[in-house]
Amino acid sequence: MRLDHIGVVVGDLGASGKYYQDLWGVHEFSPTIDEPQQKVKIMFARMRESLSPAIELIQPIDENSAVYNFLKKTGGGLHHICYEVDDLDKSIEHFKRQKALVIGNIYPGAGHQGRRVIWFYTRLKELIELIER
Amino acid sequence: MRLDHIGVVVGDLGASGKYYQDLWGVHEFSPTIDEPQQKVKIMFARMRESLSPAIELIQPIDENSAVYNFLKKTGGGLHHICYEVDDLDKSIEHFKRQKALVIGNIYPGAGHQGRRVIWFYTRLKELIELIER
Calpha distance B77→A125 (Å, rounded): 5
To the nearest whole Å, the CA of A78 is away from the closest chain B CA by 6
The domain ranges of chain B are 2-132
Closest alpha carbon within chain A to B121: A77
pTM of the model: 0.95
Which residues in B36-53 are b (16+ Cβ under 10 Å) and which e? eebbbbbbbbbbeeeebb
Residues of B in contact with A2 (CB under 8 A): 50, 52
pLDDT in tens, chain A (133 residues): 899 999 999 999 999 999 999 999 888 999 999 999 999 999 999 988 788 899 999 999 999 999 999 999 999 999 999 999 999 999 999 999 999 999 999 999 999 999 999 999 999 999 999 999 9
Smallest Cβ distance to B98: which of A22, A50, A127? A22
| Of A84, A103, A90, residue with least CA distance to A37 | A103
Is residue B18 predicted with pLDDT exceeding 90? yes
The answer to whether the CB atoms of B1 and A126 lie below 8 A apart is no
- This model of the complex carries an ipTM of 0.93
pLDDT digits (tens, 9 = 90+) for B79-119: 999 999 999 999 999 999 999 999 999 999 999 999 999 99
Calpha distance B122→B115 (Å, rounded): 22
Please name the CATH architecture into which domain B2-132 falls. Roll (3.10)
Residues of B in contact with A127 (CB under 8 A): 77-78
